[in-house]
Amino acid sequence: MKHHHWLFALLVAAWGATTPARAEKREIPDFDRYDAEDIMDVCAGCHGEFGQGTPDGEYPRLAGQDPVYLARQIEAFKSRKRINIPMIPYANDRELPPEDVQTITAYLASIQLPRHLSPLDPNKPFDALARLEESKKVLNIPHYPGDPARGARLYHRECASCHGRQGEGNWEKHVPMLTGQHSRYLLRQIEKIRKGERFHDSPDDAELFREYSDQDIADILAWLSRQDD
């Protein structure tokens, strides 16, 4: 790493295409773009060129996620507090020293994935290549089967206080966004939390999550998958 100035760039990101209840301040630490793109070459093989993950949920979306949350997961992979077998070759201090963790998590947090293609401007000539490039970044989670109205009630009773009213996460408390994340990835994490294989907010949460039926979870995912429409 050549130089690191920990000046904090202040980014005021409005949440998505819908009008946010309030514009939340989202701070992204300054990072060296050249170094970041170098590290990203490794991550892109699984998480995609823009950190968009894969629709089958095998690889989670990382783009636009809170950088502190992302760094905490990488530390948990390194210490094996969270087991991630595919990342074992990368999650160690030699391959990913702390400075690189800071750089890549800031970079990933800064990537904004549009939810829709921008409308075509009839006054401009159609640029097929630019359109193709733009379309690669668009991420809109397909509707998950379930009852979204029931899911909304369950979600607002016990999840919204931390994960946000629309599942947008909370960068002040370092709670991850759930809206915009691949449904099958979320389902896998919930199953791991139920089995006590993955840490949630408190150690008692394995029990709390076991109180939800598979249908409850499906309904919550059905609601979340509609919040980025």
Query: Rule CB under 6 A: which residues touch ligand HEC?
Result: 39, 42-43, 45-47, 59-60, 62, 70, 72-74, 84, 86-87, 90, 96, 104, 158-159, 161-163, 175-176, 178, 181, 186, 188-190, 199-201, 220
Residue 194 Cβ vs ligand HEC, minimum distance, rounded to whole Å: 11
Residue 21 Cβ vs ligand HEC, minimum distance, rounded to whole Å: 18
- Closest by Cα among 93, 63, 64, 61 to 77: 93
Burial of 151 by CB count in 10 Å (0-12 exposed, 13-18 middle, 19+ buried)? buried
Q: Considering beta carbons, is residue 117 or 162 the nearer one to ligand HEC?
A: 162
Residue 167 Cβ vs ligand HEC, minimum distance, rounded to whole Å: 9
25's tokens: 């301040």
Q: Considering beta carbons, is residue 74 or 218 the nearer one to ligand HEC?
A: 74
50's tokens: 């823009």
Q: How far apart are CA 26 and CA 66, in angstroms?
A: 8
Q: Considering beta carbons, is residue 87 or 141 the nearer one to ligand HEC?
A: 87
Q: How many CB atoms lie within 10 A of CB 88?
A: 13
* 3 state SS of 54: coil
Q: Considering beta carbons, is residue 13 or 36 the nearer one to ligand HEC?
A: 36
Residue 176 Cβ vs ligand HEC, minimum distance, rounded to whole Å: 4
> Looking at residue 60, what DSSP letter applies?
-
Residue 181 Cβ vs ligand HEC, minimum distance, rounded to whole Å: 6
33's tokens: 């773009």
